[in-house]
Amino acid sequence: GENVEQHPSTLSVQEGDSAVIKCTYSDSASNYFPWYKQELGKRPQLIIDIRSNVGEKKDQRIAVTLNKTAKHFSLHITETQPEDSAVYFCAAIPGAGSYQLTFGKGTKLSVIP
Amino acid sequence: DTAVSQTPKYLVTQMGNDKSIKCEQNLGHDTMYWYKQDSKKFLKIMFSYNNKELIINETVPNRFSPKSPDKAHLNLHINSLELGDSAVYFCASSQGRGNYGYTFGSGTRLTVV
């Protein structure tokens, strides 16, 4: 099955700086890569996603890039704010027919005011 | 109008008891999931139902039994609770394979004492 590795496990940045979280996946047939943000005590919420036919996607201060050849994708957050502090999960859905979204182990992002 | 609702939000119970968690979604999705989030925040799939049919049944003790009476509901019954069952259990739903994202419920924090 799919295996998703996520790094780093913790990340501290100064407010206003950028944060980058990286993930790799194992199944070359995977075609959908969402990112979820989970604030303390809350549910995971989808913040951005990318499909395998696209290399980059942006939504205001967040962007995701995908390198299908290397089988890795990254989340970029610019101009970080204290409210960006949360645990971020990358995920991947394996090839055709699979219903299983496999998550990375999460990155705890702390934005220091 | 909550999209995916779980009850109860908190559950404290003694070892050996049997308990149930209920989940309902009003998004019209046809696929529902149970995920377990342990103390290290790792999100692990347990079960998935598509149109009331069990499609994912991960390596979970058979003390855990899901039940989907219709595609809007997915319940989880746990027999003979053990200390190691303490975790947050999230219900989620998606349309089809989930390659338009999952919507998570608010979670049930189960504590076994």
Please state the rounded mean pLDDT for residues B95-111: 88
Q: What pLDDT is stored for residue B36 in this prediction?
A: 96
> Rounded to a whole number, what is the distance in Å from the CA of B37 to chain A's nearest CA?
10
Q: How many CB pairs under 8 A join A and B?
A: 55
| Residue B92 contacts residue B35 (beta carbons within 8 Å) | yes
List pLDDT tens digits, range B72-100: 999 999 999 999 999 999 999 998 877 77
Rg (Cα) of chain B, in Å, rounded?
13
CA B30, chain centre distance (Å): 15
Which residues, at least 6 apart from B62, have a Cβ–Cβ distance to it below 8 Å?
A: none
- Whether pLDDT at B31 is above 70: yes
Q: Which of B45, B106, B107 sits opposite A100 (nearest CB)?
A: B45
List pLDDT tens digits, range A84-105: 999 999 999 877 667 778 999 9
Q: Which residue has the tokens 């049930």?
A: B108
- Whether pLDDT at B52 is above 90: no
Instruction: Answer whether A89 touches B (CB < 8 Å).
Output: yes
The pLDDT confidence band at residue B59, using thresholds 50, 70 and 90, is confident
Q: Give me the DSSP letters along chain B.
A: --SEEEE-SEEEE-TT--EEEEEEE-S--SEEEEEEE-TT--EEEEEEEETTEEEEE-S--TTEEEEEEETTEEEEEE-S--GGG-EEEEEEEESTTSTT--EE---EEEEE-
Q: What pLDDT is stored for residue A96 in this prediction?
A: 65
Rg (Cα) of chain A, in Å, rounded?
14
The pLDDT confidence band at residue B70, using thresholds 50, 70 and 90, is very high
Looking at every residue in chain A, the average pLDDT score rounds to 94
Closest Cα partner for B72 from B91, B58, B57, B47?
B91
Q: What pLDDT is stored for residue A54 in this prediction?
A: 85
* Range name among A48-62, A94-108, B21-35 with the lowest pLDDT average: A94-108
CB contacts of A101 in chain B (<8 Å) are: 33, 45, 94, 98, 102
Which residues, at least 6 apart from B53, have a Cβ–Cβ distance to it below 8 Å?
A: none
